[in-house]
Amino acid sequence: MTAVTLTVNGTERSLDVEPRTLLVHALRDDLGLTGTNIGCDSSSCGACTVLVDGQSAKSCTMFAVQADGADITTIEGVADADGTLHPMQQAFHEHHALQCGYCTPGMVMAAISLVEEYPGLDEGGVRHGLEGNLCRCTGYQNIVDAVLAAAGSGGD
């Protein structure tokens, strides 16, 4: 086992993991943060997207040991402590940017990173930028609308 210390949603967490433990399993199984979903299990769908040092990463394609010392943000960590939604969450709510909701945590995390990385996104930029996040309900139109709205309102 290897000792790993992560700052998760602002709180330092120490855990012992097998080196082969994927970050998503450490988050879900060791830390109980089950908001991050596992979808495809093959680095394709983006359901497991979290922020690693502020940038989107697929937590199924990273070992927890690689994240030792890193700052991790999951969907549980983006709203304010008083429950006020993050502007991206609020935009998803207002634009009904979810159907079954399974892709939503990863979609929101990817979108938060996207608007931070690419200022001034247009529709094509949002679609291209979210190509690593799959919605099998195919509810993309409202997701794109939500991300554009959040980007326009400084939704980072």
Partner 1 sequence: MIPAAFDYEVAESADHAIALLAQHGDDAKLLAGGHSLIPMMRYRLATPSVLVDVGRLDDLRYIRTGNGTVSIGALTRHSELEHSAEMAEACPMLASVAALVGDPAVRHRGTLGGTLAHSDPASDLPAAVLALGGTIVAQGPGGSREIAATDFFTGYFESVLAADEMITEVRVPAGGGGWNYQKFNRRAQDWAIVGVAVAGGGAGVSLVNMGSTPIRASGVEAAVAGGASAAEAAAVAADGLEPPDDLNADAEYRSHLARVLTERALNAAGVA
Q: Which residues in this chain contact partner 1 in the complex, by CB under 8 A?
A: 2, 18-20, 22, 41-44, 46, 49, 52, 55-58, 61-63, 65-66, 110, 113-114, 117, 129-133
Q: Can you tell me the distance from the alpha carbon of 80 to that of 77, in angstroms, rounded to the nearest whole number?
A: 8
Taking the least distance from each CB to partner 1, the nearer of 54 and 101 is 54
For residue 67, how far is the Cα from the chain centroid? 15
CB 112 to partner 1: min, Å: 11
Cβ-proximal residues to 115 (8 Å cutoff; 6+ apart), any chain: 88, 121, 147, 150, 151, 155, 156
- Closest to partner 1 by CB, 1 vs 81, is 1
Is 47 in contact with 132 (CB distance < 8 Å)? no
**Cβ-based nearer residue to partner 1, 2 or 5:** 2
